[in-house]
Structure 1
Amino acid sequence: MVKNIASLMTLMLTISTLLYFSIQSDKHIDLSKYSTEGLDLDYTVKREANQYYDFTKSLNIDKDYEYSPYLGKSFVGFKEALAFKESGGNYFSVNTFGYLGKYQFGASTLRLIGIHNTQKFLKDPKLQEKAFVANLARNKWILRRDIKNFVGKRINGVIVTESGILAAAHLAGPGAVKKYLRSYGLDNFADGFGTTVYYYMKRFSGYDTTFVKADKKARAI
């Protein structure tokens, strides 16, 4: 037993001594003298492993696509969905009929909400957002009785909602929406591309547009 303890202590002393001298010797190593210059290096790790992982490849999706949070039926969801349908969300878009911006406004509609310089409007995203809200507020005031009388009713198989009415008014103007509702869908206006009031009533149904307050004199400027 005593012999085993003595052997163990001798081993521990030997290890301690070796560690001490190893540490002391490292303090005097001049690493500047060491270099890999001129050596034939052979890496065992593939180069691709150091590149960042591109998740779009595994999901088989387009890297140029702009991703955004799911906006649901919120007001922001409403305006972004409408903008995507109108212009693909492009503030600087001008279509073949001369409609301008993210929400594709006509010059005559812009004048109604106080905007007379269309070129300035096209270059100003903030002004375009203000114009969109102002136009909604104005249309909501014009259509206030129709909203009260028709929301919840079914026309051409589609339940009428406030957001559907406002979207259709953006497309065709409030007068065309009045005709559509009061004819119970028989007078169905279509724009130059063939898009109808009915389609917008259906496509933009059920969004929350309570944010918009009816305002007869709404202006963007």
Structure 2
Amino acid sequence: MRRRIRLLGPFIMIFVLASFDSESGEHTAVRVPESLKVLDPVAVLQPALPVAQQSSIIHPPFLGTSVIGFREALAFKESRGDYFSTNTLGYLGKYQFGIGTLQLMGVYNATKFLANPELQERVFESNLARNKWILRKDIPRFVGRRINGVEITESGILAAAHLSGPGNVKKFLRSNGAHDVSDAFGTSITHYLKKFKGYDTSSIPPEKNPRVLH
């Protein structure tokens, strides 16, 4: 008798498991209460990381080589894309403009500028157009050359003009790289020429004295 039980035991177990499986295989429609349905995006909290770790994992958005990709890559380098950023030298916003440049664009209220992302974008566009007009003779003359080991491109020139001003970029190009100034944080014209080369900025129109209406 015991021997029969031992022999039949595995078959009995298979039968029991199969019966459970057949019961679970029956699909029953389940109605979820409306109060439990998630209809909108839910914010997910992420653990805060030390600054040192953040700098090693944060990467700029890559939007291709279009003018949009250019402006977002430049903004990320300047402020990590933060419209409300002010650095230790008083440069403002997503693109880190100085007061003097804002006044050239017709913006005299730094507080309103910092609080208005749309205005910041218009100022950036106008400043690009102004820099391109100032460098209109140098861009076709130097694009394609190599200076200090860096291929010169229009987007690199415009990025360097944003960093140090178009006048300094003009001196850099015409001195074959001898006039390579750096900002207060040690970032040079050569660095920006290299970092931002190869974007398509041909759609930016040169404009002599652009003013931002606001």
* TM-score normalised per structure 1: 0.69
Whether 1:211 and 2:164 are equivalent positions in the alignment is no
Residue aligning to 2:139: 147
> Partners of 2:82 and 2:63 in 1: how far apart?
18
> Partners of 1:170 and 1:70 in 2: how far apart?
20
Residue aligning to 1:131: 123
**Aligned-partner residue type, residue 217 of structure 1:** N
**Aligned-partner residue type, residue 173 of structure 1:** G
Report the CA distance shift for 1:162/1:68 in structure 2 as closer, same or farther (over 3 A).
closer
> Partners of 1:104 and 1:69 in 2: how far apart?
18
Larger radius of gyration: 1
> Partners of 1:216 and 1:67 in 2: how far apart?
35
Residues 114 and 120 of structure 2 are in contact (CA less than 8 Å); yes or no, is this contact kept in structure 1?
yes
Q: Percent identity?
A: 60
Residue aligning to 1:195: 187
Residue in structure 2 matching 1:157, options 141, 149, 155: 149
* TM-score normalised per structure 2: 0.71
> Partners of 2:176 and 2:60 in 1: how far apart?
37
**Aligned-partner residue type, residue 189 of structure 1:** V
Q: How big is the shift at 1:66?
A: 8.6
Q: Tell me, what secondary structure is at the counterpart of 1:200? A: helix
Whether 1:75 and 2:67 are equivalent positions in the alignment is yes
> Partners of 1:113 and 1:210 in 2: how far apart?
21
Q: How big is the shift at 1:148?
A: 1.5
Q: How big is the shift at 1:67?
A: 9.1
Q: Tell me, what secondary structure is at the counterpart of 1:202? A: helix
Residue aligning to 1:116: 108
Residue aligning to 1:105: 97
Q: How big is the shift at 1:211?
A: 1.8
Whether 1:96 and 2:72 are equivalent positions in the alignment is no
Count, aligned residues = 163
**Aligned-partner residue type, residue 124 of structure 1:** N
Q: Tell me, what secondary structure is at the counterpart of 1:102? A: coil
Structure 1 unaligned blocks of 5 or more: 1-53, 57-61
Residue in structure 2 matching 1:87, options 79, 98, 106: 79
Q: Tell me, what secondary structure is at the counterpart of 1:201? A: helix
Instruction: State which drifts further: 97-106 or 68-77.
Output: 68-77
Q: Tell me, what secondary structure is at the counterpart of 1:137? A: helix
Q: How big is the shift at 1:70?
A: 3.9
> Partners of 1:67 and 1:197 in 2: how far apart?
22
> Partners of 1:67 and 1:98 in 2: how far apart?
25
Q: How big is the shift at 1:195?
A: 0.3
Superposed CA RMSD: 2.4
> Partners of 1:67 and 1:175 in 2: how far apart?
31
- Listed one character per residue, the Cα deviations across residues 73-97 of structure 1 (whole Å, up to 9, x for unaligned) are 1111100000000001000000000
